[in-house]
Each structure stands twice: as structure tokens, then as C-alpha cells.
Structure 1
Amino acid sequence: MERAEFDAPPATVLAALLQQLGMRPEQLIARINERRARRGGSPLSLKAAYPWLREVPSLPQPDNQADALAVLTARAGRCITASDVGWDLPRPRTRHRHLDAPGDAPLEALLHEISQGDIMDRRNLLMLTGAAATAPALALLLGPIAEAAAAPSVTRLNDRLVGSIESAVRDLREMDDSAGSASGDLTWGLGIWQSTSRVVAQARGNGPLVDRLQTAYIELSEQVGWMLFDARQHPQAQRVYHTGMRLAREAGTSLTTRHSTANLVASAAYQAAWLNNHNDAAALLDIAARTPELPSAVGAVIAERRVYAAGRRHDPDAVRRFRDDALLHLGTPDKQTPWWATWLTKDAVDGATGRAWLACDQPSRAVPFLSSRVEAAAAYPRDRLLAVLDLADTVNQCGESDRARELLDQAGELIGTVSSQRMVHRHRTLSAAVAA
């Protein structure tokens, strides 16, 4: 097909081609999502093709363009190229996105941008490290912004609306704990996060309901960020974490909000440690630990994260010190445990300790901790899977390759019940190492 067949702008060329092929834009995206699913990618919004059909079109990202052309070619029975649909033209200049740097963005504009939809599908987001990664958390130490605290509420909240959001956050946590970051659950979580962003943007002000809403949004940002991290969508996870910190900077006046923020910062630090950004992880955890009046359970969560981070940076003294801190906090409960901190037990601390010794290249020290974690009754399937994989890595490094293969077989069965790209990648990496 030559472009000259259509006396119309490029966007209309694509629309005409879809009409000729008997396809709606949603059908095109559905076929693209089938291709993405085979690669383990998350699905696009079914409305993602509409910007490609505007009078001044938004051009698809390279991988989406390749998928779309493959779908169109299969449907047409002939080769459809980028020039056939006007995608060979120069790309329009990219406009500034607030989500590129949430820590510096005006809060209301940032939340409005998030609520618009598919910005998290962008594949050109980059991980931020160094000062750019820790600045949003450092800003929390400066306290709330006075002007934002005095901002009037522009929508009427009610207990039922706020309660529904709080329940949705808990439901999302339960789904993630039981099944991992399955693409459907993650899509649902991102949808909740986007829609709640709009509610938060329209309900800034003071009062108990606003405090509850803001706390729920920070908890939601932590949960969605964790799911993106588990799906190995690391830049997107970081932007979600930073957005929660950005809200907390203006709204973090209540203790519950501050404690939820400390948990969010600790999860961001865990991601940094997993990716070997050791200075970022240490800085974030120091900030989280400085949160005032931390309940014992929250102090234990932060200490558990510090155990793992210390192992990743090869600091055995810190591994022992933070393990003692975590167990001390667990041993002195204060009846103020937030619902999101109930997952942490001594078995979980053992798992983090074994993982830390493994990272320190001391696998013999890791064996008893990881064995204890694997043998314990696991309330969370993904945690059990991670412990099995860690133990397989450990025994393989100790020269027990047969035992490592048995554990990898066990992990392979667990992977069928837990959707976690992070665990799938680790299983493949370990399997290759044991086979070698």
C-alpha cells in the first residue's frame, strides 16, 4: 500500500487502514497485548491506540510500533510498514512529564497527570540514582510545606469513599501476597492508584478524613510500587514510590501518615539494594529510621530491610547489628502494629539474614537461616519461593549441586502458583549457574 492512496494526514491513514481491515483500535491493542503477554510484558490500556489516530498523532514507542505493524501485517496478509501508516515521520518533541521527577513536581499537577492514564506504560523511563533517587526522601526531613497545609478542600469527602479506598488497598495487598504481581492484579492496582490520585488532588486540606485518605494513598503507593518492582518494572516502581513521598512532604502531619511513609521509603531502599545501588539504599533507610515515634513493628520492618541492604554491600558487622535490632523490636510489641506490618516474623528476619550472608559471600553462615525459613510454615507463597531459591543458591555455592537441583525443582513447582517476574528471572539465572 502506498501512502498516496489516501489524500489525508498520517493519522487518518492509520484510521483508514483499520477500517479497511475491519479492526477497531481496541482490537488492535488486544492483539498487541497477546504478543506482549508471550514476552512476559504487562498489557497496554485498550485505549492506547487512540492517541495514534489524532490529527496530530502521538507515535508509538518502538516496541509497541513493531507489535502493531506485525499485527496489521498478519491481518492484511501483506507487509505493512511504518511509512504505510505515517510512522516514519520525525517524532514530535517530547514534552516535560511531571512523573519524570515526582520529587520536584507541583503536587496537584503531578496527581492530575497520573490520573490521566497510561503514562506508566512508557518504556523510556530511566532509573534515578544518587541525589535524584534520595532527594524526595530527604525532603521529608524538612517537614510539611506550610502553604500546602493551609490549602482549602475542594471536594466533599465521606467516610464511605475513604473506607472503600482503604479496603481496596488491603485487598490489593492480599492479592499480591497470595498470587504475586500478576499482570491483571498489577493493572488493577495501577488503575486504583491513578483514580485515587484524582481524589487526593481534589481533597487536599485538613481533617480526619483527609488524613485517612492521604495515609491510604501512601500505603497504596508503597503497594503498587512493590508490585512494579516484583514485575521488574523498576523505573515505574521508583516513580510510584517518589509520588508517595511527594504527597507525604506536604501532607505528612499525622503519625499514621509518617509511619506509612517510613514503610514506603524502606521499600524503595529494598529495591535500591536489590539493584546494587548501595549508597541510595543506605541513605533511604537512614531517613526511614529517623521517623519519630515508630511503633515496634515498623522499627522491625526497617531493621529487616537494613539487614538485607547490609549484606548486599558486604558489611557483616551491620548484618549482625541490624538483625539484633529487628529481633529486639519484635520482642517488645507495643500494640500499635499497623496492618501492613503484620507480615514480619522471626522466620522472615531469618530469611533476610540468610539472604544477607549469601550476599556477603558467606554461604555456610546462610544455610541454617535459610533452612529454617524454608521449613517454617509459609503464609506468603512468594516469600517461600524466594527462600527456596536463596537456599538453592547457597547449597550450590557450598558444593551441593544435587541438593541445589532438588530445590530448583521445588521452586519450579512454586513458580506455577506465584506470578513474579523477579522470581522467574532469579530461577532462570540460578538454573543456568547450577547447570554450568
Structure 2
Amino acid sequence: MPASAALFAEQLRALMRKRGVSYRTLAAQTFYSKSYLHDLASGRKPPTPKTAERLDAALAAGGELTVLAAEPGVRESWAIGGAARWSRRDAERLADLLTAQAPDPDNAAALAHQWLIAEPPQRYELSAGRRVGVSTVTRIESRIRQLRRLDDHVGGAETHALVAAELVATAELLREGSYSEAVNRRLLHVVADLCQLAGFVAEDSGRIAEARQHYLSGMRAAHAGEDTASAANCLSSLSYLEAGVGDRREAVTLARSAYVGGRHAAEATGQALLLERVAWAHARLGEASLAERVLGQVQEIYPRCDLDQAPSWAYWLTRDEVEVMAGRVWTELRRPLRAVPILESAIARYGDDSPRETSLYLSWLAEALLQAGEFERVAVTAERSLSLARRAQSPRAVERVAELRRMVAAAAGDAGAVAEFLELSADLSAVGGGHPGGQ
């Protein structure tokens, strides 16, 4: 059975069970025969894009089946064996293929759906009773890198289940597996890395209490594995969360503790990221001189950064990301004349292929423009941010636009320039949280 047909069949059966739809009912809705639907659901026949679209509509699947049938390049690269039955070896090869193709805007949704179906290779090791070796840990590290890049294109509402399952499987391997001391240390490192990622996607999907727990668990795992830089990153991530939704004074303490504790263990990119969160925590507390001083430190360090050598948790800290954070800090400190040029320049290099980040950063530009009284430019920027937030499957992006809507309504009233944005975003008026964006 081709891997593509097997994945489509699995998803089709799951949707039919979830909707409580029989083959007879589905046949009546789609005008396909019951025997043909049986063949699709068993994987005996591959779907066509047109078939997938019709089944998507009948099952209200939101494009899940269409995605699995409409990626010929992915299907060809994932072809597995000629086996008559789906075997463990096929599943293992599929798990490997999930990390073989770099996520991009066109394939990220398909990769995410298929990741949910494939069994984590960690489970194979346990079920086979094998001693966990270096190759297994290397494989898990590759999967974490892939998950991080998937999250660049698919919001936390989609990636939360993927990362949570990966963390559970890896924790089981750590708890129940047999391994050497060196492998134990590397397993602790990957658990810490997964905890930090799990915290981020939980935060992005609105699960704040869960995010806190993941960050704390990651810090403990990193300390146990003697990975000081990763422990500092988990603590720094917690400070960023608290700066948004918790005690801002505590956020400063956490951010500074993370930097002091991790600066000697982290390379330049890691140091810059830890400092970025210190600057943000000070800005949220209104401490302008301290925030500016720390931004200066970031500018001094960043020329030494090498993203190819950066840890997996800091690969995304490009020069544009550094500039965006500086613009956000100045917006938070109500310095629009400093914020607007920085944000406009950096955001111009972001495309709609990263809807969550672009939406969040546009929201900060819109806020800075609002502070400057540029209502017409606010409207254009805010409407684009709103459109991208709806695409991003990120509750955090939606909450940020809802927060921006409240600011616009308070500052501009019913001014004609912003009236259309207020109308388009009216359904967000009940959204709470106001959690600020960014990583």
C-alpha cells in the first residue's frame, strides 16, 4: 500500500468515526459508490484531489483530506516499499521521512497532519526492548529541529498535539529505557529542548498554566543533564511569558537570573536571545534606561552570532528578529518615532508565508503608529495583521489583534480611517488575554 494512500485512509476513517458517518450516508452525500469509499478507507485505492475535496466538504474536515491528496511532490518522496501490508519497517521509514523534507509554507500542513499519524520512533525502541544508543538520540534531535521549523509555518493550535506526543514518547524512553551515562545526559538535553518547545506552543495555543509547567520541567531536565545554556533558555522563556501575562517585576528577576546564569555557557546567539528577553522585561515594567542599555548589549554581541552554530532553540534569531524586538521595546515605552522606522524596515522583509510572526509584528507597528496619531496607516497595518492572524491558527496572534482593537477603539473612537478595521475585527471584541507576541 503506498504511504500516501495509507495516510489518507487513516484520516478518512478517523473523520468518519468522529462525525458518526456511515459509508451509506457518505455515499449519498458525495455520489460515490460504497465500494469505492471502502477502497479509499482501506487504502486499496489512492484518492484524487477532486475526490478529497468532495469528501472534505461532506465531512467538514477543513481541508485535512485535500492536503493529503494534493501534495504530489510529498507523496512521491514518501513512497514506501511494495509491501502488501503496512509494517513496522514502513512506519519507521515514514518517521524518518517526516524529517527528510524541510517544512515550507506549501507542505507544512501536510507534514503536520502526517506527523500526527506516524508512530514516534522512541516507541519502537521501547517495544523492541533495545538498549538506547547514540543513533536514537540523534534521531530525536533531528525530529525536534523539524518540529521547530514546522511551528514556523503552522500555529500552536496545530503543533501543540505534535509536540506534546513527542515529549511524552521521549520522556517514556528516558524513564523506561536502558542506556549509558553519556546517552542519559543527551536524553536529558533533548527532553529539556522539547519542554521549552512544548512551553512555547502551549503558550501560543493559549494554555498558559501548561506552558509554565513545561518551562520549569525543561529547566530541571537541563540542569540534570548539565546543560546550563538550555536551562537558562527555559527560565528566560518563562520570564517572557510572565512579562506578558504575569508579574512584570518577577519577569525582570527571571530574565536577569537566566542571563547571569547562562551567559558563560551560551554562545553568542544564545547570549543575545537571553538579553533580548531582559530588555523586553524591563520595557514591560516601563524601565526605559535599563531596556535601552540591554538593547545596546544585544547590538554589541550580535555581530559575533553564527546561526549555523546556534543551539536549536536560537536558530531563528536573525538580524531582522533583533530589529523587531528593538522596535517592540520602543513601542512598549511609547517612543513611536524610534519604533516605527525600525519595525517598518524589518517587517518589509517578512512575507505572508509566516503568518503568525508577521501578524504579531504588524500589530506592534500598528500600535506605534497609533501612538503617533497616524490613523490611516494604523488602519492599513491593523487590517493586514488581522487577516494574517486569522490564517495563523495561533490564539496568541488573535488575542494580540483583539488587544490592538481595544487600543484603536479607545484612541481613535469612531474615526472614519479605522472604522473598517473595527468592523472587520468586531468578532474579536470578546477575546481576552492580550498576550504580547513574539518568541
TM-score if structure 2 supplies the norm length? 0.60
Q: Would you say 1:393 and 2:367 are equivalent positions?
A: yes
CA apart distance, 1:381: 3.8
User: Which position in structure 2 is the counterpart of 1:322?
Assistant: 294
Separation (CA, whole Å) in 2 of partners of 1:380 and 1:268: 24
User: More displaced, 391-400 or 365-374?
Assistant: 365-374
Residues 1:219 and 1:380: Cα distance change in structure 2 (over 3 Å): farther
Equivalent pair of 1:186/1:224 in contact (CA under 8 Å): yes
User: More displaced, 219-228 or 274-283?
Assistant: 274-283
CA apart distance, 1:336: 4.2
User: Which position in structure 1 is the counterpart of 2:281?
Assistant: 309
Q: Would you say 1:342 and 2:312 are equivalent positions?
A: no
Match of 1:297 among 241, 250, 269: 269
Residues 1:172 and 1:419: Cα distance change in structure 2 (over 3 Å): same
Equivalent pair of 2:334/2:368 in contact (CA under 8 Å): no
Q: Would you say 1:433 and 2:407 are equivalent positions?
A: yes
Q: CA-to-partner distance for each residue in 1:406-425, whole Å, 9 max, x for gaps?
A: 01111123224322101101
Residues 1:350 and 1:31: Cα distance change in structure 2 (over 3 Å): same
Q: Would you say 1:264 and 2:237 are equivalent positions?
A: no
CA apart distance, 1:220: 0.5
Mapping of residues 82-231 of structure 1, within 5 Å: 156-183=131-158, 185-203=159-177, 207-231=181-205
Separation (CA, whole Å) in 2 of partners of 1:330 and 1:324: 10
Separation (CA, whole Å) in 2 of partners of 1:425 and 1:358: 18
Separation (CA, whole Å) in 2 of partners of 1:387 and 1:370: 8
Residues 1:429 and 1:294: Cα distance change in structure 2 (over 3 Å): closer
User: More displaced, 313-322 or 335-344?
Assistant: 335-344
Separation (CA, whole Å) in 2 of partners of 1:280 and 1:252: 26
Q: Which amino acid aligns with 1:354?
A: G
CA apart distance, 1:362: 2.6
Q: Which amino acid aligns with 1:297?
A: T
Equivalent pair of 2:205/2:394 in contact (CA under 8 Å): yes
Separation (CA, whole Å) in 1 of partners of 2:393 and 2:242: 22
Equivalent pair of 1:231/1:422 in contact (CA under 8 Å): yes
Q: Which amino acid aligns with 2:173?
A: V
User: Which position in structure 1 is the counterpart of 2:392?
Assistant: 418
Residues 1:327 and 1:403: Cα distance change in structure 2 (over 3 Å): same
Separation (CA, whole Å) in 1 of partners of 2:315 and 2:166: 23
Q: Which amino acid aligns with 2:284?
A: R
Separation (CA, whole Å) in 1 of partners of 2:401 and 2:294: 28
Separation (CA, whole Å) in 2 of partners of 1:211 and 1:188: 24
Q: Which amino acid aligns with 1:302?
A: L
Residues 1:169 and 1:434: Cα distance change in structure 2 (over 3 Å): same
Match of 1:275 among 218, 221, 245: 245
Separation (CA, whole Å) in 1 of partners of 2:367 and 2:161: 32
User: Which position in structure 1 is the counterpart of 2:338?
Assistant: 365
Match of 2:256 among 279, 282, 286: 286
CA apart distance, 1:377: 3.7
CA apart distance, 1:232: 1.6
Partner SS for 1:156: coil
User: Which position in structure 1 is the counterpart of 2:216?
Assistant: 242
User: Which position in structure 2 is the counterpart of 1:375?
Assistant: 348
Residues 1:287 and 1:380: Cα distance change in structure 2 (over 3 Å): farther
What is the root-mean-square deviation of aligned Cα atoms in Å? 2.6
Separation (CA, whole Å) in 2 of partners of 1:285 and 1:309: 7
Equivalent pair of 2:154/2:393 in contact (CA under 8 Å): yes
TM-score if structure 1 supplies the norm length? 0.60
CA apart distance, 1:206: 5.6
Equivalent pair of 1:179/1:417 in contact (CA under 8 Å): no
User: More displaced, 236-245 or 411-420?
Assistant: 411-420
Q: Which amino acid aligns with 1:176?
A: D
Separation (CA, whole Å) in 2 of partners of 1:259 and 1:380: 27
Mapping of residues 16-35 of structure 1, within 5 Å: 30=18
Separation (CA, whole Å) in 1 of partners of 2:204 and 2:172: 25
Separation (CA, whole Å) in 2 of partners of 1:221 and 1:242: 8
Equivalent pair of 1:323/1:349 in contact (CA under 8 Å): no
Separation (CA, whole Å) in 2 of partners of 1:230 and 1:386: 12
Gaps of 5+ in 1: 1-25, 33-153
User: Which position in structure 2 is the counterpart of 1:97?
Assistant: none
Separation (CA, whole Å) in 1 of partners of 2:283 and 2:319: 18
Partner SS for 1:344: coil
Partner SS for 2:131: coil
Equivalent pair of 2:131/2:178 in contact (CA under 8 Å): no
Separation (CA, whole Å) in 2 of partners of 1:405 and 1:372: 19
User: Which position in structure 2 is the counterpart of 1:98?
Assistant: none
Equivalent pair of 1:218/1:260 in contact (CA under 8 Å): yes
Separation (CA, whole Å) in 2 of partners of 1:409 and 1:232: 22
Separation (CA, whole Å) in 2 of partners of 1:339 and 1:395: 34
Residues 1:425 and 1:377: Cα distance change in structure 2 (over 3 Å): closer
Partner SS for 1:343: coil
User: More displaced, 236-245 or 367-376?
Assistant: 367-376
Equivalent pair of 1:311/1:358 in contact (CA under 8 Å): no
